[in-house]
Structure 1
Amino acid sequence: MIRMAVIGLAVALAAFAALLAVALLTDFATVPCQDGVWDATRLRCIPT
């Protein structure tokens, strides 16, 4: 029972870390793109 709880906690922490990393990367990607919209598929800034 304790082993399942530890595994569940580890999975939850890993998922949280992955979400945090994605959020930080997307924020970082939009910083140079002040005068347009960041296109994640093309990895470039599209002027508006």
Structure 2
Amino acid sequence: MSIDSGNPIIHYAKKFLNSSSGNGSSPQTQIMTLAIAVDNNRDPTAK
């Protein structure tokens, strides 16, 4: 699959990443936090 702006999957991914979430963290921040936590073998949902 090529990365094409006409591709509906890419359209919805961009829409998701450009929207803000209800908890004050942007989706980009949430994904980076998750990726770092997984990379460090830590449960990102643990308090």
TM-score by length of 1: 0.36
The structure whose Rg is larger is 1
Give the structure with the higher percent strand: 1
Higher RCO by CA contacts (8 Å cutoff, separation 6 or greater) = 1
Give the structure with the higher percent helix: 1
